[in-house]
Structure 1
């Protein structure tokens, strides 16, 4: 009888812990290398919506080591779900951002995929291929790979 009670309590706790990443808000930190000797860092707040879709407010920093240019951009991204299986989620990521390159106004649009791996403590590791088109900047294309971690904030 004790084993049945322990088993039921354990299954109940596991069932409440496993919520398939829906409805959570995250603080994202990502960094990586982009083509043409550029390093990129993104900080963002991600808001979980229905059906595992997400909305993201982002700050994007890019530093080109060759031309010593810095880009600062603020933007918004929408990430609809493509597929989900166990602890893995694949999203399409579409974003737009506005900012400066220390000299001029710049604007950027981006599309790509985001692959998320969820851990039992709520943290998420993700890989994000970056494909940005930046208007009114010397380097129009930012292509590369970012890796990062999402921390739950609720």
Structure 2
């Protein structure tokens, strides 16, 4: 019994030591006329693959109306990030997954896909450039795509 408990404790400690959690913060512009901000938690796996749990808020503005927060939306989801190419200090990933949220009190389900380039600094922090595509169902805000830039902070 003691050997089993010691083996379990060693396994939990080694898994905890190898876990690489990162706080991700991104902001950018999406088409059509959308400002977007995203906060998430990324958990890395072997070979550069990762999973991210995220939440985002955005706003569609219309020129000439002067009411900036009338076209807001929020959503959240989970993304799987598959590594395509590894560089010396960075990597290129393909990201995809489901999302759900609401826009102007109308709920939606959607799919997100795109590419992400990460550059990792010596202290472990990262810079990310994200090309994002959203396809949403059940309401009029069907397509959103654009670029985001952000930071990844390890903890």
Measured against the shorter chain, the TM-score band is 0.7 to 0.9
Q: After superposition, what is the alpha-carbon deviation per residue over 1:33-69, rounded to whole angstroms, capped at 9, x for unaligned?
A: 1112110111100001122110000102121012821
Q: After superposition, what is the alpha-carbon deviation per residue over 1:5-58, rounded to whole angstroms, capped at 9, x for unaligned?
A: xxxxxxxxxxxxxxxxx8421000000011121101111000011221100001
Displacement of 1:102: 3.3
The reply to whether residue 132 of structure 1 matches residue 128 of structure 2 is: no
Q: After superposition, what is the alpha-carbon deviation per residue over 1:76-128, rounded to whole angstroms, capped at 9, x for unaligned?
A: 00001111011011111002111111321111101111000010011100100
Structure 1 stretches lacking a partner, 5+ long:
1-21
8 A Cα contact 1:132 1:143, kept in partner: yes
Q: Tell me how large the CA RMSD over aligned residues is.
A: 1.4
Q: How many residues matched?
A: 132
Q: Which residue of 2 aligns with 1:5?
A: none
| TM-score, normalised relative to structure 2 | 0.80
| TM-score, normalised relative to structure 1 | 0.81
- Give the counterpart of 2:49 among 46, 53, 57: 53
Structure 2 stretches lacking a partner, 5+ long:
1-17
